[in-house]
Amino acid sequence: MADRYLHLTGTAPGRFLARRLGLPQPAPLRRWTLETPRLDGPLLHLTAGNSAITDELAKALAATGLTVDPQAAHPAGIVLDATGVTSARGLAEVHAALHPVVRSQAPGGRIVVIGTPPSSEDHHQAAAQQALEGFVRSLAKETGRGSTAQLVRIPAGAAPGAAESTLRFLLSPRSAYVSGQVIELTTAAPDPVADQDAPLSGRTALVTGAARGIGASVASVLARDGAHVIVLDVPQAQDDLVRTADRLGATALPLDITAPDAAARIAAAAPDGLDVLVHNAGITRDRRLANMPADRWAQVIDVNLDSVLRTTDELLTSGTLNRGGRVVATASIAGIAGNNGQTNYAASKAGVIGLVRSLGPRAAAGHGVTVNAVAPGFIETKMTAAVPLFIREAGRRMNSLSQGGLPVDVAEAVAWFAQPGSAAVNGQVLRVCGQSLLGA
């Protein structure tokens, strides 16, 4: 469904009216296209405190393809290395570094603050590093004009190149609808990427619920990134599924993911194993708990959570998920904030978060596989088009970017998790919600 308000405020009279009436002024977001794959301008690399990773970070920033220019008057990206901030007083350097430059940032810009995990042994360091979280979440609310801000925590002893894929993603148009997020990396070394324009080339990815909506977009972005994609959806959606498959040169697998033999059928469809498994299929059966029959509860838990647990377990233990594999599940901000009439859905999506956090480290240690999740906010799909007008309008505007996201925004986040270079991204839940106020 078209966002007419966003269209209106994209015109000069509309902008004038919105400003005069004090209404939200969403900036059109610039997303990835073949012609404009990068941010439009240079990068500023700043440091607060004594950093031990300056050279390594400079290498990672150079790999983004953006020009690092210390004199940039209107930087498209600003990266502040605050890993060396270890005290409350040291936070003054964060202010001193960013205060003079935030105003001059180009519209649609990116701010990335680099921190390090708060220490359990040094409460001064922990306070200073945790302070960065509140700082970044607030800055993300202030930046405006389609700009975003995030915090990336790099642990001591991180492997060379561990942060590269994350910086590439955050400092690009691909992360247009991600803001106010905290990403904590591990020390794992990235798997090599031969071609950054096709990082998934030679890999096989399976996407569930891919006949339409977010799943179809995920399949399309993974195919763009070079993967051979297997698209899975219920047999009733076969026509749409085959259309998606034909469009992408993908393989269609009509299958209900809750079927007892689902994992075996997936394994049979991927004789060389799977490199990427995206659990996207999801349903809602909304009712308040007092009015909710057991079958509506069970259907949602079965599709959104139990089948995710079952198939992940079976595909891991059978070795169908290749070493270096990536599992990406789909949570929701409803699973973080809760939602009236969605006890079943929110329980299932919160369960996905529990799965990711628990299994991520063990899957990496035992199988060399990472497990992460996206948590979409308000995304413009058939599902949200069916929401009553007033609630839909509120859902669209109640975030720092004052607009709904597009399926491709979720797909780009999935593609970042799926990359071979993202081995250090594990056990993370990334909200793709424009920094929604819900559950923030």
Ligand X SMILES: NC(=O)c1ccc[n+]([C@@H]2O[C@H](COP(=O)([O-])OP(=O)(O)OC[C@H]3O[C@@H](n4cnc5c(N)ncnc54)[C@H](O)[C@@H]3O)[C@@H](O)[C@H]2O)c1
Question: Which residue among 281, 328, 408, 424 contacts ligand X (CB under 6 A)?
Answer: 281
Q: What angle do CA 407, 409, 415 make, to 5 degrees?
A: 105
- Quick note: the x/- pattern for ligand X over 393-432, rule CB under 6 A, is ----------------------------------------
Q: Is 379 in the site for ligand X (CB under 6 A)?
A: yes
Question: Which residue among 282, 325, 360, 427 contacts ligand X (CB under 6 A)?
Answer: 282
CB distance 397 to 377 below 8 Å = no
Amino acid identity of 338?
G
Is 5 a catalytic site residue? no
The residue from 5, 32, 345, 416 that is catalytic is 345
Task: Give dist(CA 348, CA 334) in Å, integer.
Answer: 10
Nearest distance from C-beta of residue 13 to ligand X, angstroms? 30
Q: Is 330 in the site for ligand X (CB under 6 A)?
A: yes
The span of 54-62, 151-159, 379-387, 416-424 binding ligand X (CB under 6 A) equals: 379-387
Strands of 147-294, DSSP E: 148-153, 181-184, 204-208, 228-233, 251-254, 274-279
Nearest distance from C-beta of residue 283 to ligand X, angstroms? 5
HSE-up (13 A, CA, CB side) for residue 61: 25
- Give which of 91, 158, 92 is closest to 126, Cα–Cα: 91
- The per-residue b/e assignment along 175-202, b for 16 or more CB within 10 angstroms, e otherwise, is bbbbbbbbbbbbebebbebeebeebbee
CB distance 125 to 89 below 8 Å = no
Question: Interface residues for ligand X in 221-260 (CB under 6 A)?
Answer: 233-234, 237, 256-258
The footprint of ligand X on this chain (CB under 6 A) covers a number of residues equal to 27
Using DSSP's 3-state secondary structure scheme, residue 341 falls into coil
- Quick note: the x/- pattern for ligand X over 331-370, rule CB under 6 A, is -x--------------------------------------
Q: Is 303 in the site for ligand X (CB under 6 A)?
A: yes
Question: Interface residues for ligand X in 63-82 (CB under 6 A)?
Answer: none
Task: Give dist(CA 177, CA 207) in Å, integer.
Answer: 21
Tokens representing 134 are 């509140």
Q: Which residues pair with 233 in a beta bridge?
A: 254
Q: Is 173 in the site for ligand X (CB under 6 A)?
A: no
Question: Which residue among 381, 399, 419, 422 contacts ligand X (CB under 6 A)?
Answer: 381
- Quick note: the x/- pattern for ligand X over 184-223, rule CB under 6 A, is ------------------------xx-xxxxx--------
Where do runs of H (alpha helix) occur along 197-342? 213-224, 238-248, 262-269, 294-301, 307-317, 334-337
| Block residue for tokens 């930046």 | 143
Question: Which residue among 175, 280, 400, 436 contacts ligand X (CB under 6 A)?
Answer: 280
Helix axes 407-418, 213-224, angle to 10 degrees: 50
* Long-range Cβ contacts of 386-393 (<8 Å, 24+ apart): 392/1, 393/5
Nearest distance from C-beta of residue 178 to ligand X, angstroms? 14
Q: Is 376 in the site for ligand X (CB under 6 A)?
A: yes
Question: Which residue among 283, 292, 309, 437 contacts ligand X (CB under 6 A)?
Answer: 283
Nearest distance from C-beta of residue 362 to ligand X, angstroms? 24
Task: Give dist(CA 191, CA 423) in Å, integer.
Answer: 7
Which residues have a catalytic role annotated? 345
Site for ligand X, rule CB under 6 A: 208-209, 211-215, 233-234, 237, 256-258, 280-283, 303, 330, 332, 376, 378-379, 381-384
